[in-house]
Amino acid sequence: MRYTLLLHYPEMSPDELGPDAIAEGMRAFDEYAKALDAAGVLLSAEVLQPSSASTTVRHRDGQLLVQDGPFADTKEQLGGTFVIEVPDLDAALDWAGRAPSVEWGAVEVRPGATHFADGAWQGAPGAR
């Protein structure tokens, strides 16, 4: 089963973090990604730019609205994702518990319903 691990944690600037914390975080996530890859469960991983670089688009009253920044006004932001293919939720939870960011934020584990690959929708019955 396909799961996306959504890493939520407080956003801090490089100055707030400091070079040692940045280096340690990069090392920890590199090790984590390599462990997922070596286990044969990693489908993709992405580190996102800060939420200040995002733009939110929504449709309201017949108009397209474009807003700088994230939709949610929270202290924790989505910082990255790992998409994994594992046998079941227990295996996904095990990998989520090993994510370095679980020490300072939440890791949301969400099962996939469908995904687009090789020119077509894959997954659940009724996929487009």
- More confidently predicted of 125 and 19: 19
Tokens 């690959």 identify what position?
Answer: 117
Structural domains of the chain in order of their starting residue, each with its CATH number: 2-114 (3.30.70.1060)
pLDDT digits (tens, 9 = 90+) for 7-46: 998 888 889 999 999 999 999 999 999 999 999 999 999 9
Rounded distance between C-alpha atoms, residue 10 and residue 42, angstroms? 25
What residue type is 36 in one-letter code?
Answer: L
Q: What pTM was computed for the model? A: 0.82
- Give percent of the chain with pLDDT exceeding 70: 91
